[in-house]
Amino acid sequence: MARPWDASIPGLGPYIKPHTDLKEIDEALKLLWSAGVTPNKVNLGIANYGRGFTVSDKSCMKYSCQYSGPSKAGPCTNLEGVLSACEIDRIVSANKLSPQILPGGATVKELRWGDQWIAYDDKDTLALKLDLANNRCMGGTALWAVDYQICDSR
């Protein structure tokens, strides 16, 4: 799960990755189970926001391409690199985008426009994460942050 401050970390670098990669989550859970952790003692955190990047080169706007920094701040969150669910919905509508599930097992949606790239969960991908939690008999799920669903219209 890449974040803008990971750019200088060896092994991570300035490469686009989603923050809620279901494939990585499932692999991490296998480590817990192999260490004897009981699944019902673990809750799965799920995100009601997206993490985004400003790409280094507009001709490479996909998973593993390089980024130059966080995505632009949205009007509600006012935080670079993070967009709330409602900000994402507005971007999709304003730019007439067609979000797609990222190929390769990450099970997140991606958006690309201008020099911006963002990965996020929506009702489709959240359902897949809930299925994982239920299939692994986990203790539950926690949504962060519920207030990111609604934007102030000011």
User: 25 and 136 in contact (C-beta within 8 Å)?
Assistant: no
Identify the CATH class of 4-149. Answer: alpha beta
Residue 108 above 50 pLDDT? Answer: yes
- pLDDT given for residue 8 in this prediction: 62
Taking alpha carbons only, the member of 7, 49, 11 closest to residue 144 is 49
How far apart are alpha carbons 50 and 7 in whole angstroms? Answer: 18
Where do the domains of the chain lie?
A: 4-149
How far CA 108 is from CA of 36, 56, 120, 154, in Å, comes to 29, 22, 6, 29
pLDDT tens readout for residues 11-59:
677 888 888 888 888 899 999 999 999 999 999 998 889 999 999 999 9
Residue 115 above 90 pLDDT? Answer: yes
pLDDT tens readout for residues 72-101:
999 988 999 999 999 999 999 999 999 999
Task: Report which of residues 3 and 22 the model is more confident about.
Answer: 22
